[in-house]
Amino acid sequence: MLQTLAHTRPVFTLAAVMLFGLAIGSFLNVVIARVPARRSLWRPRSACPGCGTAIAWHDNIPVLSFLVLRGRCRACGMPISWRYPIVELVTAAAFSMAYLAFGPTPEFVAAAGLLSALIAITVIDLEHQLIPDVITVPGVLAGLAANLATGRVSWLDSAVGVVLAGGLFLVVILVSGGGMGGGDLKLGAMLGAFLGWKVVLVALFVGVVCGGALAIVLLASGRSGRKDPIPFGPFLAAGGAVALFWGDRIVAWYTGGFGP
């Protein structure tokens, strides 16, 4: 009996982490909807954008309510964006990965905070071509504080990461005459604060490669012109997530001469 409980406890804990991720994903949907419009995250209550009816608690359960309502407002039948359950599920999956990688530790809390910010930034940038300062600027301070508290990255590596990543984007902005925005600079600095200067280089490399590859495909297919803006935030966020989970191993592999 005791052995069975010991084996099932991690399963229950992971399930709890997933439920927590769903709840945070629901909150991130509020952030995504309200931050670009500079509205309060707390008031008024969430309401249907079509008819203005306040959403009851039982219609605001992550994923489940969307399925029960078949993706439509209970009051007026207006379609609910698929973005809501997708964000909730992605957040739950990201938190689960973080828990499996870091376990019940302060590092998991820091990773969950970073991943939450990256998910919100990704969707906001895709929808509005905007990376809000209200997320990235506090994110820089949060990354520095998290590493001071956990010691996962030294305070010096964290501070150098802020300057290095932010500085690289500043150079790109100055050389390109505005080809990138200040939002990318602050997002890079936030990643540097959380990841440290060595691992943030992995994040930047992954972001540039993925963003460049998509840009080439869009240009070659004629779906985008040379002057059409392509949000870089989602690619940088993806690079940050890759670096969070595998950056240390990539850096060790590279500095070890590509050896096992």
- Kindly report, residue by residue over 139-163, the tens digit of the pLDDT: 999 999 999 999 999 999 999 999 9
DSSP 72: B
Burial 99-123 (b: 16+ CB within 10 A, else e): beebeeeebbebbbbbbbbbbbbbb
Record the tokens describing residue 228, joined without a space: 């059409």
Q: What is the pLDDT of residues 105-129, one digit of tens each?
A: 999 999 999 999 999 999 999 999 9
Q: What is the pLDDT of residues 190-219, one digit of tens each?
A: 999 999 999 999 999 999 999 888 888 877
Helix axes 197-221, 155-176, angle to 10 degrees: 30
Higher pLDDT among residues 180 and 161, named by residue = 161
pLDDT greater than 80 at residue 2: no
Helix axes 182-195, 233-255, angle to 10 degrees: 40
Q: What is the pLDDT of residues 83-96, one digit of tens each?
A: 999 999 999 999 99
Contacts (Cβ under 8 Å, ≥6 apart) of 14: 96, 99, 100
pLDDT greater than 50 at residue 48: yes
Q: Which helix (H) or strand (E) holds 28?
A: helix 2-34
